[in-house]
Structure 1
Amino acid sequence: MPPADPWEYTLYIPNDLRAVTVARRTLRLILTMHGLIRLTDTAELLAAELVSNAVRHTKGPAALRVRWSAGVLRIGAWDADPEPPPPPGELEVLGEEGRGLALVAACADLWGWQPLARHGNRGKYVWCELAAA
């Protein structure tokens, strides 16, 4: 049974591709402990894409945020680059670049981005949602 009470975790990560594995394993543990194991495989894929983009395309720190509220799991990655991700209509024509966000758009129930500042650093927050049902 999914948890009734909302919760949120934030994992601050360095600009290092190994952070993708750390984020995936941390997310798996969080979801398992909260009884959301059936969302784990898709959630791990989405988190890996978001965190990978955050550490590959920026030079600063990043963060993974996972939030559960009202039957919806939101996974997001903050990075220090304030530039928006490519619009959904351009994802298919980018070739090698942009495939991760196309995958996020295909697998998530909803996704988006917003400008965000964290600890005095400007950047953006790219997020996606999975419903528990």
Structure 2
Amino acid sequence: MPESWEYTLHIPHDPRAVTVCRRTLRLILALHRLTHLADTAELLTSELVSNAVLHTKGPAALRIRYREGVLQIGAWDADPQPPEPPGKFGELTDAENGRGFALVRANSDLWGWQPLSRLGRRGKLVWCELNAA
């Protein structure tokens, strides 16, 4: 039976939480012998957690899940609204800001978002997946 696991890190509404999440992710991947995914996974984690912390108010959480050879990285925040207006979601632009979802789309095998309640609060989970092979 393949190994499956999941970690959740609850983070404060603080930009410094992005660094804590990246370092935590690297440690988890090293412990599970998935270091070959670390650079890409760290970039994806930075983008997802940055959006959760910088563009919403309230608590957030990082979820790292591995199942059937797929690493899923997700950032939950307390804002139930979609991450960006539907017409701009994931478009690549020359702007200094707003390219996060384009980077997520370009560097992951699958991504999306869904409404999700956590700790009794409505919100959303923005996630992406990397195949471990």
Q: TM-score band, normalised by the shorter chain?
A: over 0.9
SS of the counterpart of 1:117?
coil
| Larger strand proportion of the pair | 1
- Please name the residue that 1:108 is paired with: 108
Letter in 2 for 1:27: L
Per the TM alignment, residue 98 of structure 1 is displaced from its structure 2 partner at its CA by 2.4
What TM-score results when the alignment is normalised by the length of structure 1? 0.92
**Contact 1:88-1:102 at 8 Å conserved across structures:** no
Length, aligned pairs only: 131
* Residue in structure 2 matching 1:40, options 38, 41, 49: 38
What TM-score results when the alignment is normalised by the length of structure 2? 0.92
SS of the counterpart of 2:3?
coil
Query: Percent identity between the aligned chains?
Result: 69
SS of the counterpart of 2:73?
strand
- Please name the residue that 1:58 is paired with: 56
CA distance in 2, matches of 1:85, 1:92: 15
- Please name the residue that 1:21 is paired with: 19
SS of the counterpart of 1:122?
coil
| Larger helix proportion of the pair | 1
Where does structure 2 lack aligned partners over 5 or more consecutive residues? none
CA distance in 1, matches of 2:73, 2:85: 19
SS of the counterpart of 1:67?
strand
Per the TM alignment, residue 93 of structure 1 is displaced from its structure 2 partner at its CA by 5.3
CA distance in 2, matches of 1:89, 1:30: 35
Alignment of 1:55-94 (within 5 A): 55-86=53-84, 90=88, 91-92=91-92
**Contact 2:112-2:126 at 8 Å conserved across structures:** yes
